[in-house]
Structure formats: structure tokens, C-alpha cells
């Protein structure tokens, strides 16, 4: 009996020792007034991948709705309940991809400094063969002032630990963040194109159309610029159209997930 208990205890220790550590990556923001806020991106064995039709919010990992003071500087992303949050978690089975994190902000004053820790891209426990990411970037028109080798508006996060934006600052938010590999055939181009979404007509008074370059649309989410989900009727993933005629005038975000679980995003303006 005692030997069985010792064996079970030894097995438990072995499993605990082999457990994948939680990978936590932060983007720290500081605006021109010195106001600060942080977004976290996480890999965890207990995390889930949700969808607009099957929401799965990892509350234990902090993906729940954030308590946001809408009169102060805040950065945020969104969860599968359509709530503003400051954490986006994915399971390790999704590694090395961490795409679809769309970051927005309110009440900020330029210049904006964004900082991160590049050493986390090389954490020794990451499950990838090389033990690190092959690509990590932020994507916005405001980053077009920098040439980091990835293309227009794509800031290569592997080249530095921070960046300050004081150029086209009004076009910095919202922006996408994506991580991935580059040594698989075609993967770099696939990852780098995941934030490109053509929306037309734009601006529009009644309907928007969209088309993904290589796959079909699985989920569609419309949010305002605070990250709050906006109910829309007349969404057709087959024809690539959304009826926005009932929306109040303003700017909105479109978030799409393809049948291959790639994430796309874009902005459109609703006219009266």
C-alpha cells in the first residue's frame, strides 16, 4: 500500500515538473501626460479558444470584463463576450500563433511610448523547436514612419524593446498584434497578412462588404472604438456582407475569424 502511495506521489511530482509554465507577455503604454496602462497576452495550458457564436472567456486567467474609467486614459482589447478586457489568453496548442489581439485606447495624449520585453520571445520553456518566436509585430498606419523590414505599417517587435509614436498619432489606435513562426513554408506571409481586411464601400450608409484572401469567414464581430460589441443583423458570411444601416454614425471595427482560425480586422465609417 505504501509503495503504491509513493509511486502515485512520484507520478504527481513528475507531472507537476513537466507542466507548461504560463507565458505572460505585456505591452506597457505611457502617453504624453505620463499616464500608464498595460495589455497582457498569455499562453496557458488551461486557456481556451472561443468564437462569437461559442464564447469561451478565461475568467481565471483575467479575460473577464475590465473595470474601465471612461474619463481616464485606458488601453484595452476585447473578449468573446464582447466586453473590454486587458488580457488575451490562448492555449499552448495555438502556439506559435498569437493573432487577433486588437488593442484600442481612449483619452490619451501623444506622444505614445509602447514598451515590451523581447527576452520573453526566447523563454526556454516555449514549445517551439527553436524555443522562440520567429515573428512578432504591431500593425498600424502610425508605425509607417519606421522601416523594420516587415512592410508598410508593421513594426517588428524583435528589433527593440520600445517605440514612441508621434507621427500620425491619431491613426495609432486601434492596432493589431501578432506572433508567429517564419521557418514553415508560406507561414510568414500568412501571419503577416492576418490583419489585412478590405472593407467597401467605406464610408457607408447601409452595408459593408468584405472578402478574405484565402479562406472563408467563420465568425464576424462588430465593435465600437471602446471595444464594446455592437449587435448587427443581416450578417452573411457566405456573401461577405453586413447590414449596418441601423448603426449610429461613427467609426466601427470589424473582427473576422476564418475557417482556418486566422484573425482579420478593419475599420469603417458609418455615415448618416
What is the DSSP secondary structure assignment for residue 151, as one 8-state letter?
Answer: -
Q: What is the CATH number of domain 196-272?
A: 2.60.40.10
Task: List, for residues 116-169, the tens digit of each pLDDT value.
Answer: 999 898 887 887 654 568 789 998 889 989 988 887 888 999 989 999 999 989
Nearest to 213 by CA among 236, 238, 241, 194: 194
Question: How far is Cα 72 from Cα 45, in angstroms, rounded to an integer?
Answer: 34
Which helix or strand (DSSP H or E) is residue 9 part of? helix 2-18
The more confident residue out of 6 and 31 is 31
Task: List, for residues 66-118, the tens digit of each pLDDT value.
Answer: 988 989 999 999 888 888 999 999 888 888 878 768 899 999 999 999 999 99
Q: Is the pLDDT of residue 8 over 70?
A: no
CA distances from 91 to 21, 88, 248 (A): 12, 11, 37
Which pLDDT band holds residue 61 (cuts at 50, 70, 90)? very high
pTM value is 0.65
Per-domain residue ranges for the chain?
22-194, 196-272
Q: How are strands ordered across the β-sheet holding 241-243?
A: 198-200, 207-211, 241-243
At 46 the three-state DSSP class reads: coil
Average pLDDT, the chain: 80
| Bond preceding residue 15 cis, omega within 30 of 0 | no
Task: List, for residues 15-39, the tens digit of each pLDDT value.
Answer: 333 467 899 999 999 999 999 999 9
Amino acid at each position: 500500500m505504501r509503495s503504491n502511495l509513493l509511486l502515485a506521489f512520484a507520478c504527481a511530482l513528475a507531472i507537476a515538473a513537466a507542466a507548461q509554465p504560463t507565458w505572460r507577455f505585456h505591452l506597457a503604454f505611457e502617453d504624453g501626460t505620463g499616464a500608464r496602462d498595460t495589455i497582457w497576452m498569455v499562453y496557458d495550458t488551461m486557456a481556451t479558444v472561443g468564437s462569437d457564436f461559442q464564447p469561451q472567456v478565461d475568467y481565471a486567467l483575467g479575460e473577464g470584463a475590465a473595470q474601465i474609467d471612461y474619463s481616464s486614459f485606458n488601453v484595452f482589447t476585447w473578449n468573446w463576450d464582447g466586453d473590454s478586457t486587458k488580457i488575451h489568453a490562448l492555449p499552448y496548442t495555438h502556439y506559435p500563433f498569437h493573432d487577433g489581439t486588437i488593442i484600442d485606447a481612449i483619452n490619451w495624449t501623444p506622444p505614445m511610448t509602447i514598451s515590451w520585453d523581447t527576452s520573453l520571445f526566447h523563454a526556454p520553456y516555449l514549445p517551439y523547436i527553436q524555443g522562440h518566436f520567429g515573428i512578432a509585430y504591431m500593425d498600424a498606419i502610425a508605425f509607417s514612419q519606421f522601416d523594420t523590414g516587415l512592410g508598410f505599417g508593421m513594426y517588428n517587435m524583435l528589433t527593440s524593446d520600445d517605440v514612441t509614436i508621434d507621427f500620425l498619432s491619431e491613426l495609432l489606435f486601434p492596432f493589431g498584434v501578432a506572433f508567429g513562426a517564419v521557418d514553415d513554408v508560406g507561414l510568414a506571409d500568412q501571419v503577416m497578412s492576418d490583419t489585412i481586411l478590405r472593407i467597401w464601400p467605406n464610408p457607408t450608409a447601409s452595408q459593408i462588404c468584405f472578402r478574405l484572401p484565402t479562406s472563408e469567414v467563420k465568425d464576424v464581430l462588430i465593435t465600437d472604438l471602446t471595444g464594446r460589441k455592437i449587435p448587427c443583423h443581416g450578417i452573411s458570411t457566405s456573401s461577405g456582407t453586413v447590414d449596418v444601416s441601423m448603426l449610429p454614425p461613427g467609426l466601427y471595427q470589424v473582427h473576422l475569424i476564418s475557417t482556418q482560425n486566422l484573425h482579420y480586422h478593419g475599420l469603417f465609417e458609418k455615415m448618416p
